[in-house]
Amino acid sequence: MAIDTREELINALHEACEIEHSLLVQYLYTALSVKKGLDEGLTPHQQRLVRDWQARMLVIAREEMGHLGIACNLLAAIGAPAKLDRPAMPRGTGYYPFSFDLLPFSDEALYKFLVFELPRGFPPPPPPGADLDAREMQPAALASVAPEPLEYEYIGELYAKIADGFRAIPQGQLFIGPKTAQTANNWSDRMLDIRVVTDRASAIAAIENIITDGEGTPQSTDRSHYSGFLEVRQRYFAEQRFDAARRVPKNPATRVNPEADGPVTLIKNPMALRLTELFNANYGVMLLMLQHYFSLAPRADDAAAETRRRALQLSSQRIMSVAVRPLAEEVTKAPLDDPQAPERAGPSFEIYSDVALSPYPGARWTILLERLDALVAECADLGQELPRVGAIGETLSIMRGDLAAVASGEL
What is the predicted pLDDT for the residue at 142? 35
Nearest to 347 by CA among 57, 32, 19: 32
Indicate whether 288 and 402 sit together in one domain: yes
Q: What is the CATH number of the domain that holds 126?
A: 1.20.1260
What is the predicted pLDDT for the residue at 400? 96
Indicate whether 304 and 220 sit together in one domain: no
- What's the structural domain count of the chain? 2
Contacts 24+ apart (CB under 8 A), 400-405: 400/369, 400/372, 400/373, 400/376, 402/311, 402/315, 403/311, 403/312, 403/315, 403/365, 403/368, 403/369, 403/372, 404/369
Indicate whether 160 and 69 sit together in one domain: yes
362 in Cβ contact with 308 (< 8 Å): no
The whole-angstrom separation of Cα 357 and Cα 170 is: 31
What is the predicted pLDDT for the residue at 216? 57
Domain ranges, residue 183: 1-246
Which residue numbers in the chain have pLDDT < 50? 134-152
Q: What does the pLDDT look like over 10-69, one tens digit per residue?
A: 999 999 999 999 999 999 999 999 999 999 999 999 999 999 999 999 999 998 998 999
What is the predicted pLDDT for the residue at 93? 82
SS3 content of the chain, % helix, strand, coil (to 5): 55, 0, 40
Among residues 216, 246, 276, the one where a domain terminates is 246
Indicate whether 148 and 297 sit together in one domain: no
Burial letters 209-227, b for 16+ CB under 10 A, else e: bbbbbbbbeeeebeebbbb
251 in Cβ contact with 90 (< 8 Å): yes
What is the predicted pLDDT for the residue at 139? 42
Beta bridge partners of 276: none
Indicate whether 92 and 201 sit together in one domain: yes
What is the predicted pLDDT for the residue at 191? 56
Indicate whether 98 and 216 sit together in one domain: yes
20 in Cβ contact with 75 (< 8 Å): no
Indicate whether 174 and 300 sit together in one domain: no
Indicate whether 169 and 211 sit together in one domain: yes
Q: What does the pLDDT look like over 264-273, one tens digit per residue?
A: 999 999 999 9
The whole-angstrom separation of Cα 113 and Cα 406 is: 41
Name the residue type at position 270: P
